[in-house]
Amino acid sequence: MPRNGLHFVALTVLCVLAATSASSQEDQVRTDPLDRDRLSVGSGTQGAVRIVSTSDTVEVKGLLGEWHRLHPDIRVDYIHQSSLEVYEDVVKCREQGQCADIAWSSAMDLQVKLVNDGYAQPFSPTEPDRIPDWAIWRKQAFGITAEPIALVYNKRLVPTEDVPRTRADLLKLLTTKRSIYQGKVASYDAELSGTGFLFFSNDVQITPNTWNLIRGLGQDGVRLYTFSHTILDRVASGEHLLAYNMIASYALERAKDDPSIGVTLFTDYTALITRIAIIPKNAPHPAEAALFMDFLLSRNGQQQLAARSFGTVRSDLPAGLRATVSEDTLRPIRVGPDLLANLDQSKRKAFFREWRRALDGR
């Protein structure tokens, strides 16, 4: 089974320049030319916020630009890191001498572990009734997006009648048209990607029929990857025709510039993930952190995230892509202690054993 993966290396140059003049909100957000994984905005005369996050700097320029418009004198230093680096930044901040005020990550299990292990402090949003129960745990972990998990396909090469509406349709397509789709389907690698493990293990929890689909993917010669952009590149090129269990927000952003990218949600069920934000217990600027967290969950902040195709968690904003399926088919991955099971090594080993067997067609 081919396994393709790229190793992410976070840049660590510390020079960040604050914006002093610009013609648009996003222009107020400056990226250090030597370090594209850091952004800075604001004068700092009224406070500061240090944010570590798995979201790319390009994805948050609009968000930080709007923050600067509202709070020009509170400096924000935004650092893009891997999910493990975000976790370690919070756990080891005293050793490093610099602690985060906000930590947000797509690694839901690691974020919940931080809360469970006492590394987060409570926060009370000003509009709690607008945030669903599944997106909040202990008033310490807050889901700030609601992103569907989708099927991505090449619109130029996949006939409309071949686009599956359910997982049963996908399995049937792989079986009846194997000569066309053999080696042409991609997905995350559950063993090498924490994202892949989260998605496939969640599928298994929803229905044990998932193992039949994984066997079908294995028999079809599914190609497994660790990064979304690699999969999207290869679907766009036609090297792959379908990609299962993709984060819709990434695909929707790519589709804005690439008409070959199609995105659809399954009607049997659609999983929703969320990026979880916390205020670390040792945050050096807790008041400013609370202000920024409230901004993230506000109507204004959520609209900025939605502009980058991140689904909003607020009940008073349009649902975006997930509105294309009925509400009762949505299966949010709840922010809470159930996610800790993903970190249980014995359970992971058992899952990976069955994963390999299924991919081998056993």
Q: Tell me the per-residue pLDDT of 143-175, one tens digit each, with 9 for 90 and over.
A: 999 999 999 999 999 999 999 999 999 999 999
Q: How does pLDDT run across 270-314, given as a tens digit for each residue?
A: 999 999 999 999 999 999 999 999 999 999 999 999 999 999 999
Closest CA to 59 of 35, 75, 37: 37
Residue with tokens 């006492």: 118
On whether both 100 and 55 belong to a single domain, the answer is yes
Structure tokens at 340: 């800790």
Q: Are residues 236 and 198 in the same domain?
A: yes
- How far is residue 232 CA from its own chain's centroid? 15
**20: containing domain:** 8-146+275-320
Q: Are 87 and 12 in the same domain?
A: yes
136 and 65 share a domain? yes
- Give mean pLDDT, residues 216-223: 97
Classify residue 247 by burial, with Cβ atoms within 10 Å: 0-12, 13-18, 19+.
buried
Both 80 and 97 in one domain: the answer is: yes
Domain check: are 268 and 153 in the same one?
Answer: yes
Residue 194, pLDDT score: 85
Which amino acid is located at 116 in the chain? N
Number of domains in the chain: 2
In a domain? residue 329: no
- Helices and strands in the chain: count of H runs, count of E runs: 13, 17
Structure pTM? 0.83
Angstrom distance (rounded) from CA 112 to CA 336: 6
pLDDT bracket for residue 24 (50, 70, 90): very low
- Provide the CATH number for the domain around residue 95: 3.40.190.10
Q: Say if 328 falls within a structural domain.
A: no
Q: 116 near 138, Cβ under 8 Å?
A: no
